[in-house]
Amino acid sequence: MRIGLSRAEYARRRQAVLDLMREKEFGAFVFFNSTNIFYLTGFAFIPTERPIALILSADGRKTIFVPRLEEEHAREFDEIDDVQCYPEYPGKTHPMNLLAEILVKMGAAKTTVGADADGYSSPQGYRGPKLSEALSPGKMEVVRDFISELRAIKSPEEIALIRESARWGNLAHALLQEYSLPGRTEDEISMRASMEATIAMLRTLGDSLPRGSSTRTGAHAGFRGQVGPNSALPHAVSINAVLKTGDVLVTGATANVAGYSSELERTMFVGEPNAVQRKFFTLMKQAQEIAFEAIRPGRRCSEVDDAVREFFEKEKLWDYWRHHTGHALGLLGHEAPFFDTGDDTIIRPGMVFSVEPGLYVPGVGGFRHSDTVVVTEDGIDFITYYPRKLDKLICGVK
Per residue in 183-202, pLDDT (tens digit) is: 999 999 999 999 999 999 99
Q: What pLDDT score was predicted for residue 137?
A: 84
Per residue in 24-35, pLDDT (tens digit) is: 999 999 999 999
Inform me whether the pLDDT recorded for 212 exceeds 70.
Answer: no
The domains of the chain are located at: 7-150, 152-395
pTM value?
0.96
Phi-psi region of 184 (alpha: psi -120 to 50; beta: other; left: phi over 0): beta
162-184 exposure pattern, b = at least 16 Cβ within 10 A, e = fewer: bbbbbbbbbbbbbbbbebbeeeb
Place 394 in a pLDDT band, splitting at 50, 70 and 90. Answer: very high
262 phi and psi angles, rounded to 5 deg: -120, 180
87 phi and psi angles, rounded to 5 deg: -65, -55
Per residue in 62-71, pLDDT (tens digit) is: 999 999 999 9
Percent of the chain clearing pLDDT 70 (strictly above): 98
Per residue in 317-354, pLDDT (tens digit) is: 999 999 999 999 999 999 999 999 999 999 999 999 99
Q: What pLDDT score was predicted for residue 273?
A: 97
Contacts with 373 (C-beta within 8 Å, 6 or more apart), sequence order: 292, 295, 352, 353, 355, 380, 381, 382, 383, 384
Q: Rounded mean pLDDT of the chain?
A: 95
Inform me whether the pLDDT recorded for 370 exceeds 90.
Answer: yes
Inform me whether the pLDDT recorded for 211 exceeds 70.
Answer: no
Q: What pLDDT score was predicted for residue 287?
A: 98
Q: What pLDDT score was predicted for residue 30?
A: 98
Q: Domain 152-395: which topology?
A: Creatine Amidinohydrolase (3.90.230)
At 164, the amino acid letter reads E
Place 398 in a pLDDT band, splitting at 50, 70 and 90. Answer: low
Percent of the chain clearing pLDDT 90 (strictly above): 92
Q: What pLDDT score was predicted for residue 172?
A: 98
Place 216 in a pLDDT band, splitting at 50, 70 and 90. Answer: low
Q: How far is CA 165 from CA 262, 340, 383, in A?
A: 6, 25, 9
Inform me whether the pLDDT recorded for 257 exceeds 80.
Answer: yes
Inform me whether the pLDDT recorded for 387 exceeds 70.
Answer: yes
Distance CA 364, CA 248 (A): 8
Per residue in 98-134, pLDDT (tens digit) is: 999 999 999 887 899 999 999 999 999 999 999 999 9
Q: What pLDDT score was predicted for residue 206?
A: 82
Distance CA 178, CA 190 (A): 11
* Mean pLDDT calculated for residue range 83-88: 97
Inform me whether the pLDDT recorded for 238 exceeds 80.
Answer: yes
Distance CA 339, CA 356 (A): 10
Q: What pLDDT score was predicted for residue 1?
A: 60
Place 207 in a pLDDT band, splitting at 50, 70 and 90. Answer: confident
Q: How far is CA 355 from CA 94, 187, 234, 287, 372, in A?
A: 45, 26, 14, 10, 6
Inform me whether the pLDDT recorded for 214 exceeds 70.
Answer: no
Inform me whether the pLDDT recorded for 298 exceeds 70.
Answer: yes
Q: Select 7-150's CATH number: 3.40.350.10, 3.30.300.90, 3.60.15.10, 1.10.3720.10.
A: 3.40.350.10
